[in-house]
């Protein structure tokens, strides 16, 4: 019988990483450059492993092979097969990430045999005056972009947004973006690790090498006509479920709880809960699954009704 699953976090050291994954989210790392914690992943070479219950030690891939419809839902299996369609992360940027963008499904399929990489960010914590880069600060064309790229003045046309905890952004494919220094965030995205890096602040690694840039292949992935609708506005003072982002690849809601909540899953989809404040207990199928700030739980699609008990918790709820 399936039950709510937790997974071993996959910690990724990055040149720009820090120590907030351990200090704030209690991740098991001693590194001073821990940049990412992959909470649920079906990326080749980085497949999540169950950490709780009777199926502890089983990979997500094996879980899907054995319990395809019950885990994913019929609709998701029809669309994605036995490839888990979402990659769930926490990201800590001690210094700025590279300026980058991601390809759409068609381009990613033809070039990399991969999904595209539509994603969203929820800021968990941000140092004073921290910023995100999302889009340009003026109307943009391919010709103007290339002019600034060649002149090494790309920074002058980027849009810098000051951020604080709770700020939410929808990053569509084709939009230039970067996570700025001092930001800790949750990222929900399509299962893809395809990134086109166009600027990396002229930094070098410990061997004195610059990281690879992808300016030639990135050009075809750009969408220069995107509206400035990337910042999500929502009410932050309600105890009700609030929709943050909905798109063909995922829906993400925020739930602020002080009392128990009964959930009826009528989406024909798994459901994911990321705890970003407090702690909670999921009661499902006779199982109690405790999770706290920094932890993530996957509810199989076959579990149609469950409850969340808490005195205080803030959760991101994700499904397709």
In angstroms, the CA 95 to CA 19 distance is: 12
pLDDT at residue 174, rounded to an integer = 96
Around Cβ 127, how many Cβ atoms within 10 Å?
15
In a domain, 208, yes or no: yes
In angstroms, the CA 110 to CA 116 distance is: 10
- Do 91 and 227 belong to one domain? yes
Per residue in 12-29, pLDDT tens? 999 999 999 999 999 999
**What residues make up the domain containing 139?**
10-232
For residue 75, count CB atoms less than 10 angstroms from its CB and return exposed for 0-12, middle for 13-18, buried for 19 or more: middle
- Do 252 and 159 belong to one domain? no
Going by pLDDT thresholds of 50, 70 and 90, the confidence category of residue 227 is confident
Last residue of a domain, one of 232, 264, 291: 232
Per residue in 140-153, pLDDT tens? 999 999 999 999 99
In angstroms, the CA 121 to CA 166 distance is: 10
In angstroms, the CA 7 to CA 293 distance is: 14
- Do 100 and 199 belong to one domain? yes
In a domain, 4, yes or no: no
Per residue in 248-299, pLDDT tens? 999 999 999 999 999 999 999 999 999 999 999 999 988 999 999 999 999 9
In angstroms, the CA 199 to CA 151 distance is: 13
Mean pLDDT within 199-206: 84
In a domain, 126, yes or no: yes
pLDDT at 230 over 90: yes
CA distances to 186, 240, 271 from 165, rounded to whole Å, are: 11, 19, 24
- Do 125 and 80 belong to one domain? yes
In a domain, 1, yes or no: no
Eight-class DSSP state of 211: P
What region does 28 belong to: left with phi over 0, alpha with psi -120 to 50, or beta? beta
Give the chain's domain count: 2
Among candidates 97, 87, 72, 166, which has minimal Cα distance to 126? 166
pLDDT at 205 over 90: no
Q: What is the mean pLDDT of the chain?
A: 95
pLDDT at residue 35, rounded to an integer = 98
In a domain, 168, yes or no: yes
H or E stretch including 109? helix 105-112
pLDDT at residue 190, rounded to an integer = 97
In angstroms, the CA 163 to CA 237 distance is: 18
Eight-class DSSP state of 217: H
- Do 24 and 57 belong to one domain? yes
Among candidates 180, 176, 178, 177, which has minimal Cα distance to 163? 180
Per residue in 41-92, pLDDT tens? 999 999 999 999 999 999 999 999 999 999 999 999 999 989 999 999 999 9
For residue 277, what is the domain's CATH number?
2.60.120.10
In a domain, 190, yes or no: yes
- Do 53 and 173 belong to one domain? yes
In a domain, 96, yes or no: yes
Tokens (6 digits) for 283:
């009661």
In angstroms, the CA 73 to CA 90 distance is: 25
pLDDT at residue 208, rounded to an integer = 78
Residues 6+ apart with CB under 8 A from 240: none
What region does 39 belong to: left with phi over 0, alpha with psi -120 to 50, or beta? alpha
């Amino acid at each position: 019988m399936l039950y709510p699953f937790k997974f071993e976090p996959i910690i990724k050291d990055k040149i720009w990483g820090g120590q907030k994954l351990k200090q704030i989210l209690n991740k098991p790392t001693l590194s001073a450059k821990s940049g990412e914690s992959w909470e649920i992943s079906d990326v080749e070479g980085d497949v999540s492993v169950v950490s709780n219950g009777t199926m502890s030690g089983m990979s997500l891939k094996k879980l899907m092979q054995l319990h395809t419809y019950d885990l994913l839902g019929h609709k998701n299996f029809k669309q994605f097969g036995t490839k888990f369609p979402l990659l769930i992360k926490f990201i800590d940027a001690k210094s700025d990430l590279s300026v980058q963008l991601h390809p759409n499904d068609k381009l990613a399929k033809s070039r990399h045999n991969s999904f595209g990489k539509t994603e969203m960010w929820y800021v968990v914590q941000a140092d004073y005056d921290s910023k995100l880069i999302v889009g340009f600060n003026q109307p943009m064309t391919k010709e103007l972009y290339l002019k600034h790229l060649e002149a090494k003045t790309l920074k002058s046309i980027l849009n810098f947004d000051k951020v604080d905890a709770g700020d939410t952004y929808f990053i569509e494919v084709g939009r230039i973006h970067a996570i700025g220094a001092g930001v800790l965030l949750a990222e929900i995205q399509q299962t893809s690790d395809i990134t086109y890096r166009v600027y990396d602040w002229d930094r070098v690694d410990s061997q004195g090498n610059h990281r690879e840039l992808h300016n030639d292949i990135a050009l075809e992935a750009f969408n220069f006509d995107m509206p400035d609708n990337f910042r999500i506005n929502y009410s932050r003072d309600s105890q009700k479920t609030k929709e943050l982002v909905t798109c063909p690849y995922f829906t993400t809601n925020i739930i602020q709880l002080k009392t128990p909540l009964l959930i009826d899953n009528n989406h024909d989809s798994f459901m994911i809960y990321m705890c970003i404040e407090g702690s909670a207990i999921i009661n499902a199928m006779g199982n109690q699954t405790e999770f706290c700030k920094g932890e993530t739980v996957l509810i199989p699609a076959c579990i149609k009704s469950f409850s969340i008990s808490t005195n205080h918790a803030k959760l991101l709820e994700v499904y397709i």
